[in-house]
């Protein structure tokens, strides 16, 4: 038996802190937490954060690159004290 979210009809994921959080929301949180692209690029040194960064180019890269997205998600969880 699975428990479903009444609004979406999708299974609930109570043990997944990333459930329902968009990649854009994660990136916005990290930019606010680290006070901009420079410090975010220092913590995750990838070109989309260090070389002429923008929200749209970073989201595009992260959606296509699983290893980079994992780094961003891990850093996000660390800022929320989940790790």
Instruction: Tell me the pLDDT tens digit for each residue of 4-56.
Output: 555 555 556 667 778 888 999 999 999 999 999 999 999 999 999 999 999 99
Backbone angles phi and psi of 7, in degrees to 5:
-75, -40
Q: pTM of this prediction?
A: 0.79
For the domain made up of 23-79, give the CATH fold.
1.10.720
Cβ(41)–Cβ(51) below 8 Å: no
1-10, 42-51, 56-65, 66-75: the lowest-pLDDT one: 1-10
Write down the domain spans for the chain: 23-79
Write out pLDDT tens, residues 25-37: 999 999 999 999 9
């Amino acid at each position: 038996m699975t428990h479903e979210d009444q609004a979406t009809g999708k299974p609930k994921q109570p043990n997944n802190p990333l459930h329902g959080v968009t990649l854009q929301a994660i990136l916005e949180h990290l930019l606010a937490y680290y006070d901009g692209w420079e410090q975010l690029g220092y913590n995750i040194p990838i070109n989309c954060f260090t070389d002429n960064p923008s929200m749209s180019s970073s989201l595009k890269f992260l959606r296509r690159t699983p290893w980079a997205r994992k780094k961003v998600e891990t850093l996000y969880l660390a800022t929320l004290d989940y790790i």
